[in-house]
Amino acid sequence: MPLFILSKEHDFNEIILERRLNTILFTVCWSLGSKIILPTIIDLAYEKNLAHVNFYRIDIDENNIELAQRLNI
């Protein structure tokens, strides 16, 4: 099942699990090869400051992260 990665300035920071008005975001922090996942909730119906944010679709495979596809949302 593919996930959606939300990227700011080409840094993969957040993974979107669902595309709904109330979207659950999981922020992925990389630290010495280990992942720390922090859940965050954002309401896309009211969040208007997303023009500089790129959305990518990717399957969960850290070795093939370069195969991410940009989405037009």
The rounded distance, in Å, linking the Cα atoms of 36 and 73 is: 27
Helix (H, G, I), strand (E, B) or coil at 19: coil
List, for residues 12-49, the tens digit of each pLDDT value: 444 444 444 444 444 444 444 445 444 444 444 555 55
- Residue 9 confidence class, pLDDT cut points 50, 70, 90: very low
The rounded distance, in Å, linking the Cα atoms of 15 and 29 is: 11
Overall average pLDDT of the 60-67 stretch? 48
The per-residue pLDDT for 46 is: 53
End-to-end Cα distance, the chain: 19
- What's this model's pTM, rounded to 2 decimal places? 0.21
> What are the structural domain ranges in the chain?
3-71
